[in-house]
Amino acid sequence: MSTATASRTVATGRRTSPLTHALRRQLGVAAYLAGWYWAIALVVLLVATLIVWRVNGAVDVSVVAYARQSAIWFPFSQAILLVAALLRPHLAAGMTRRTFVRASLVTAVSTGLGYTLVLSALLLVERALHTAVGWDAEILEQGFELTGRDFPAMVAELGPALVLANLCGLLVGVVYHRFGGWWGTVTLPLTVLPIVATLALAGEWFGSLPALDGVLSGPADAPLLTGAVLVVVTAGAYAALTRSTPVRTPR
C-alpha cells in the first residue's frame, strides 16, 4: 500500500519539496515551543496580577508589558539551537544550505511576528479588563511607550525587536557552528549588535540618550524603518555565512 501510494505521489508530481519539508520541521518545533511559552506566560502573568491586586488593592500598571523581555530572549535562544541542532542533519539528508537558509529565515521571521501579534493582543485584552474594573494600565518599562495606542501601532513598535532577536539568534548559531566556540564567543558583541542597538536606542536600558535626541527626532516611522534595515542586514549576514559554511563532523 505504501509503495503504491509513493508511486502515485511521484507519478502525479506531488512529492514534498525540500523547502516545504524543512519548513514543516522548523515551524513545527517553533509552534510547539511557542505554545508552551505562552501557556506558561499566561499563568505567570495571571498569578502576578492577582498578587499585586492582593497587596495593593488595585493593579494600575501593565503586567503583560513585562513579558516583552522573555518574548525577545526565549526565541533568540531557540534560533541558536535551530542552527546547532538542524543544520548538520539537514545537509546530511542531502538538502542544500540554500534550502536551510530560506526555511530558517521564514521560521525566524514568522516566530517573531507571531510573538508580536500575541503580545500586542494580550496588551489590548489586559487594558480592556483593567478599564472594566476601573484600573489604569500604565506601562512603566523604559523604551516601551504603548499606553493609549492601537493594535497596528503596537505591532509596529514591538515587531522589529522581536523579529531581530530571532535573526540574531540564527547569526549567533551559524558563527558558532562555522568558527567554533572561541570565535563564536568573541564575536558575540557583533552578532547580537542589531538587537542590542535596537533596544538601547529605544531607551530600553539607559533611558533617553540626550546625545541622540537630534538623531531620533526624525519622522514618526523612523524606528520602524531602522528596524527594517537591520532586519535585512542581519538576514543577509546570516545567509552569506550559512551558504559558505563547511560541515563540521563530530570528533
Tell me the pLDDT tens digit for each residue of 24-35: 999 999 999 999
State the pTM of this model.
0.84
Q: What is the pLDDT of residue 219?
A: 46
Indicate whether 102 pLDDT > 70. yes
Whole-angstrom distance, CA of residue 59 vs CA of residue 135: 6
Cell 499585586 belongs to which residue? Answer: 52
pLDDT tens readout for residues 169-205:
999 999 999 898 899 999 999 999 999 888 877 655 4
**What's the one-letter identity of residue 223?**
P
Is the alpha carbon torsion for 86, 92, 93, 97 positive or negative? positive
